[in-house]
């Protein structure tokens, strides 16, 4: 074979993975930037699942989505949503075809790892006031000390009212912090493994140091803090019992890199896919062939259990309601439906190359990563999509010029993780995982590539617009 023949054969037979920037149409560059600017605003507005749900509803209503009321008549082109207990959102754009033909679903999650306040959080020690926390989701504890934190959530009062708490997000607000040992006295701590060097019970938020009242009294710093909280939110110490208060990094999204090609932020997992799934739905200009459904779920980071998680019957109820409007059994709809479980994957990090398997890793700027399976210890906890489903998505994405790559989380024995995919697949919905590769996933400040964000949006659109 001569040189040109080999080249030809190579092009014909071997896969040719290319950096997304060598494939991105020049005309798309402005759209990428515009999309990412909107995504960054979405992140800043929604640092908790409640705030993210509220922002999603606001954006949906702007685009003509109405709250679904049971029994409502629904016709092709109608746009409805249900907000589940303020923490998860399900939206549908009713398609031209009957739901017997199935729905095209994108499911992402809007909860992220964070520090929740305990039900009895407030205490004083050595004349400093603190909140005790209980971490939510998989965090590396050492990453959460000595960074500015803000607090969001609600205190539900006995009289039915709720106090909405926001400390640290507004301009000029004070922030909270968890202290750490100085290196001078950290010799013993420094010898410990990362996972145990910072015990969970030391993740206490520093709240105040100024005492009030008579110097004979004790607990004066705690009292001063409680007085401030009472003045601002009308709550007393007992109200923490029925509160959900979440400490999250007090950092807004920003461009990363001299070339501004990346975005650094808290909560890319999984708001980067949630935004893509939502925005693609809201941007559909024509009535889709099949009903397009977007699910923004809560509780993924702790196993998708609970009323607002993906295992909740809330999703089945929503779909049953849509199906009832067309006299279609929901089970018949599910068996013909397709779901893209839109969740992030790990981006190959050259600094930690030994945990990745280079030939099957997802790379920054190579587009949305398709994961046939996730899971750990031999695919446990994965729905493991069938080959036909992967082929279906290849066809959809290639048809819409979506830049995509195939991805595994890391080396077979390095660990693993799961998504909502198996909970959709268990419902007899054909499901495949796909999402944006993330650097430093689950850290208080994660990094994604702008190109990958954009391609994920295009991928979601292709799912919603599929004819079959």
* CB-based closest residue to Mn ion: 270
Longest dimension (CA), the chain: 95
Nearer to Mn ion, 270 or 408 (CB): 270
SS3 300: helix
* DSSP string across 331-390: HHHHHH-EEEEE--EEBP-GGGGGGS-GGGBB-TTS-EEEES--EETTTBT-----HHHH
Nearer to Mn ion, 113 or 288 (CB): 113
Instruction: Give min distance, CB of 137 to Mn ion, in A.
Output: 6
Contact flag: residue 408 with Mn ion (CB under 5 A):
no
- 276-315: contacts with Mn ion (CB under 5 A): none
Contact flag: residue 343 with Mn ion (CB under 5 A):
yes
* DSSP string across 252-294: --EEESTT--EEEES-HHHHHHHHHHHHHHHT--S--SSEEEE
Instruction: Give min distance, CB of 343 to Mn ion, in A.
Output: 4
Contact flag: residue 246 with Mn ion (CB under 5 A):
no
Contact flag: residue 446 with Mn ion (CB under 5 A):
no
Orientation of helix 268-282 relative to helix 29-45, angle to 10°:
120
Query: Which part of the chain contacts Mn ion (CB under 5 A), choosing from 70-78, 231-239, 339-347, 359-367?
Result: 339-347
Instruction: Give min distance, CB of 109 to Mn ion, in A.
Output: 6
Query: Which part of the chain contacts Mn ion (CB under 5 A), choosing from 18-26, 194-202, 229-237, 266-274?
Result: 266-274
Instruction: Give min distance, CB of 382 to Mn ion, in A.
Output: 14
Interface pick for Mn ion out of 246, 270, 349, 446 (rule CB under 5 A): 270
80-113 in b/e burial notation, b at 16+ Cβ within 10 A?
A: bbbbbebbbbbbbbbbebbbebbbbbbbbbbbbb
Nearer to Mn ion, 292 or 371 (CB): 371
List the structure tokens of 393.
């998505």
SS3 139: coil
Nearer to Mn ion, 246 or 269 (CB): 269
Size of the site for Mn ion (CB under 5 A): 3
Contact flag: residue 269 with Mn ion (CB under 5 A):
yes
Q: What are phi and psi of 203, to 5 degrees?
A: -80, 70
* Residues near Mn ion, by CB under 5 A: 269-270, 343
């Amino acid at each position: 074979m001569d040189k040109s023949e080999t080249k030809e054969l190579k092009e014909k037979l071997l896969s040719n993975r290319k950096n997304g920037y060598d494939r991105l149409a020049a005309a798309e560059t402005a759209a990428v930037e515009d999309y990412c600017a909107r995504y960054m605003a979405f992140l800043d507005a929604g640092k908790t699942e409640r705030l993210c749900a509220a922002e999603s509803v606001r954006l949906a209503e702007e685009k003509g989505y109405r709250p679904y009321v049971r029994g409502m008549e629904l016709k092709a082109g109608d746009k409805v949503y249900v907000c589940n207990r303020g923490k998860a959102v399900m939206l549908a754009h009713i398609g031209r075809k009957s739901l017997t033909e199935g729905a095209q679903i994108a499911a992402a999650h809007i909860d992220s790892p964070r520090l929740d306040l305990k039900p009895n959080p407030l205490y004083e020690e050595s004349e400093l006031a603190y909140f005790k926390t209980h971490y939510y989701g998989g965090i590396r504890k050492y990453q959460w000390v000595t960074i500015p934190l803000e607090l969001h959530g609600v205190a539900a009062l006995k009289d039915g009212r709720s106090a909405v708490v926001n400390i640290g997000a507004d301009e000029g607000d004070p922030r909270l912090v968890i202290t750490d040992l100085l290196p001078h006295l950290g010799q013993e701590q420094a010898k410990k493994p990362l996972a145990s060097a910072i015990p969970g019970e030391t993740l206490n938020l520093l709240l105040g140091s100024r005492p009030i009242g008579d110097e004979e009294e004790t607990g004066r710093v705690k009292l001063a803090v409680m007085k401030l909280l009472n003045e601002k939110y009308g709550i007393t110490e007992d109200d923490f019992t029925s509160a959900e208060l979440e400490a999250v990094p007090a950092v807004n999204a920003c461009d990363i890199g001299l070339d501004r090609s990346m975005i650094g932020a808290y909560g890319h997992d999984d708001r980067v896919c949630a935004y893509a799934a939502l925005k693609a739905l809201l941007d559909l200009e024509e009535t889709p062939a099949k009903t397009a459904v977007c699910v923004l779920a809560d509780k993924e980071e702790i196993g998708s259990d609970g009323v607002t998680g993906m295992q909740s019957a809330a999703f089945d109820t929503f779909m049953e309601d849509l199906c009832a409007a067309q006299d279609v059994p929901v089970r018949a709809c599910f068996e013909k439906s397709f779901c893209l479980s839109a969740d992030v994957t790990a981006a190959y990090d050259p600094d930690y190359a030994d945990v990745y398997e280079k030939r099957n890793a997802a790379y920054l700027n190579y587009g949305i990563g398709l994961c046939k399976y996730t899971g750990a210890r031999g695919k446990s906890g994965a729905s493991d999509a069938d080959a036909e489903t992967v082929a279906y998505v290849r066809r959809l994405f290639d048809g819409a010029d979506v830049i995509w790559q195939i991805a595994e989380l890391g080396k077979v024995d390095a660990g693993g993780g799961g998504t909502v995919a198996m909970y959709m697949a268990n419902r007899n919905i054909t499901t495949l995982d796909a999402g944006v590769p993330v650097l430093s996933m689950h850290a208080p400040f994660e990094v994604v590539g702008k190109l990958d964000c954009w391609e994920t949006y295009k991928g979601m659109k292709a799912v919603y617009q599929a004819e079959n």
